[in-house]
Amino acid sequence: MYDHAAQPRENHGTFTASAMQDTPSPRTSPARHARAAQANVTAGDVLMSDIGPLKLCRHCAEHWPADGEFFARDTRRQDGLEHICKACRKEQRAGR
């Protein structure tokens, strides 16, 4: 069994730092990711703007920049981002 506590502290920091990057890293191939992104654009989920792609929040129905600042990462989805923006997710959790 691999013991994480036995790792030197500096190595542990490099693993957690790489896991906390802002850019989503999907598990699919780049070509498949590009096809999924194009399908989202044609479906209306993503709009292109001068600041980059905008993703549709399925809860508030507004378009926000498709990055880690507005959408949480979700590696199960093809675009690597959740379908609900962080603000709406925060409201949902506060309502519990």
Greater model confidence, 64 or 95: 64
Encode pLDDT of 40-70 as tens digits: 555 567 888 888 999 999 999 999 999 999 9
Cβ contact 72:64 at 8 Å: no
The pLDDT value given to residue 91: 95
The closest of 91, 54, 88, 61 to 72, measured between CA atoms, is 88
Q: Residue 6 — φ and ψ, nearest 5°?
A: -80, -10
- Domain boundaries, given as residue ranges, for the chain: 26-94
Q: Count of residues for the chain?
A: 96
pLDDT tens for each residue of 73-84: 999 988 899 999
